[in-house]
């Protein structure tokens, strides 16, 4: 018998001046709410299938979140609508200047790339809304 996973965690990693370009893990946040630190996460693709789950988990664990997507807001009826600590931003991640401007605002503990497809196609439009 396989037991379901009881705890899932989000690990936040940041560059360190002593790491010489390597990424170092700086904190772990578990779904039980034990945290060493909290901060603001930028989730690219925050309205998508994976991105919305990441946004939900991060909020549950005490992070504030900026969710960036073409839609700019969750689908009607989403349980993410109206959640505290969540800011929605509309934009196009294929336009580097838009992502750079958002990241340049600063204050982010981490950035999560949860964009499934960046291709311009009819299939992508159908899948992504």
Please say if the pLDDT value at position 69 is more than 60.
yes
Reported confidence tier of residue 99, pLDDT bands at 50, 70, 90: very high
Counts of helices then strands in the chain (DSSP H, E): 3, 6
Instruction: Report pTM.
Output: 0.65
Q: What is the reported pLDDT for 71?
A: 86
Would strands 23-30 and 9-15 be described as parallel, antiparallel, or unpaired?
antiparallel
Please say if the pLDDT value at position 106 is more than 50.
yes
Please say if the pLDDT value at position 17 is more than 50.
no
Residue with tokens 């993410």: 80
CA-to-CA separations, 87 to 4, 21, 55, 99, 112, in angstroms, rounded: 32, 30, 10, 15, 15
Q: What is the reported pLDDT for 116?
A: 79
């Amino acid at each position: 018998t396989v037991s379901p996973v009881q705890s899932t965690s989000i690990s936040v990693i940041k560059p360190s001046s002593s790491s010489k370009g390597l990424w170092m893990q700086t904190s772990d946040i578990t779904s039980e709410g034990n945290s060493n630190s909290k901060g603001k996460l930028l989730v690219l693709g925050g309205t998508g299938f994976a991105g919305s789950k990441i946004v939900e988990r991060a909020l549950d664990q005490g992070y504030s979140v900026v969710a960036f997507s073409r839609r700019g807001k969750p689908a009607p009826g989403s349980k993410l609508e109206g959640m505290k600590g969540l800011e929605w931003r509309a934009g196009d991640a294929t336009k580097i200047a838009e992502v750079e401007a958002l990241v340049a605002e600063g204050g982010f503990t981490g950035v999560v790339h949860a964009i499934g497809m960046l291709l311009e196609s009819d299939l992508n439009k159908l899948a992504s809304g």
